[in-house]
Chains A and B, each alone.
Chain A
């Protein structure tokens, strides 16, 4: 183990990416994510990697995709307005199956919104922001230490599934400073390599057993073609309905097939819980405190924290809804993830919303009040 350091969430995001092998970062300044780019600008050249500040958020997204195709492990970081600009190329990365991580540190929106204030209002945009059908993987840590781990995991998943992975922070976690001890070594997922030569009939977009293709890096002699047009296994565009259906199916299925192994959640005080709070990111910290308060009062309340936001924890929520009498979803928005919880709960128990959207993080008392309202006086 390394020695303890006082570190910010945004710094831990950069440190995790570097530990996972990221050697290329392109960015554009935007509050409250800028410290990620600043940390990368300082650390990448020390390690022989490359940092480039591009002319806008679209360009930085394009640069990481080009670098990834040339063999680099890549990250980009932004906040809501920049994330909106990146949407087209996030879709490009999904369609062309290019490994990349985009860190999104949320602030209040829409538009320029409240640039330095916390929010969790970009949850749906991470899922549906780009046009068309595609799968996406989104991780949202709740502490500085976990931001490091989630950053490593995001890079590994990007490489494993060859797709964009969003590291979804909120301003609370991004700007939080905590004492952390980082591991000396982390498991990294190596860049996938072709299993055939050109002479053996290598097809860059032919799926492997896990439905993910082993696309050759540029400059390795394979002469591949990469396009954002729907393409067949050769990589060249196809106007065929069958090819189109297969391409879209495979983009979804490669994630679906990975199953619950990539859906990371954490349960606290849930063994005997009759009521549950569901939260993620910075809000989960407050929710944890609220649940402890309720426990101290004898209330059988637990916390289910979502770390993987997408794919959504359908099965976990379905089980939870059968265990408890009611679920309270706490989120810093007018209500986004609550709709997913209701869908997954499928009526097995009531799902209430504790929403906050006034620039301020939750106070534990607010979530406690929400729980009490849901319980309707039931404190057993």
Chain B
């Protein structure tokens, strides 16, 4: 059996083959999350010509360069405003945002909550590795309390965001979470976001063995994924856990929130009708 056979999987057609291998570190979860996105695109049959991938700045946001669509690598924190402009200018496009915890919840935090509030029809996938990886491991708004980072050498004292609860409170109409361990589930959660006409937010927990793991006694990528396996609990089961169990590092995954609300494109069509410009 040759080890250099070329196995072709159907999802590979969504990648720019000449750009691979990607630049992420050995064991980084971003590659898994990126595959989950293209598999969700494949599952939902989204056209490659009519789908735009928009990313910000950071490790996660390098994903756009590997994906064979119209792709836009924006400035730090600004992926959601760029994506908003794309969607409003051409509503037939499927607009997918790939962002990171620093990109989305720190520098881009205001854009994130207002994208949710507007219920603009985007699918935003947050690769949450709990750290600023590209710059070498500084604390992010999702770094757990007490975890170490180069800018939190004695443990982080900043209370972390729960990005999903933030999205829900801000008006997102589809909020889900999964992990790099639960690859198929993650892909299903993203696919569910494509079905929602409105702001869909999917938090993908991904491991950063290089910048986060090594500082926090989890240098092995597999060990970090085992931690996800052991601490992620499906939402229905999580809701039934006693509070003491909930606080023991466990977190819910699955579809966390969904609501029916008018998306911004639809709402603006009404504005055009009122103004007398519909169909122009």
Contacts and interface: CB of A to CB of B under 8 A. Distances in A.
A232 to B, nearest CB: 13
Given A46-B277, A55-B110, 15 more contacts: A52-B88, A54-B81, A54-B114, A59-B78, A59-B111, A62-B84, A62-B85, A65-B85, A69-B85, A72-B85, A218-B72, A219-B93, A223-B71, A225-B73, A237-B65
A63 B279 contact: no
B85 A223 contact: no
A229 B62 CA distance: 11
Closest CB pairs A-B (n = 5) = A66-B85, A48-B280, A62-B81, A67-B85, A67-B89
A88 interface: yes
Contacts of B275: 42, 45-46
A58 B81 contact: yes
A228 B54 CA distance: 13
6 contacts: A24-B89, A62-B82, A68-B85, A72-B90, A223-B68, A227-B65
B278 interface: yes
Chain A interface mostly:
mixed
A30 interface: no
Interface in A123-160: none
Interface string B42-54: 0000001110101
Contacts of B87: 66
A218 B53 CA distance: 10
| Residue from B85, B271, B272, B275 with most neighbouring chain A CB atoms (10 Å) | B85
B89 A71 contact: yes
A67 B83 CA distance: 8
Interface residues of B, number: 43
Interface in B34-62: 48-50, 52, 54
B81 A48 contact: no
A198 to B, nearest CB: 11
Interface residues of A, number: 48
Contacts of A54: 81, 84, 114
B74 interface: yes
Contacts of B111: 55, 58-59, 62
A62 B81 CA distance: 5
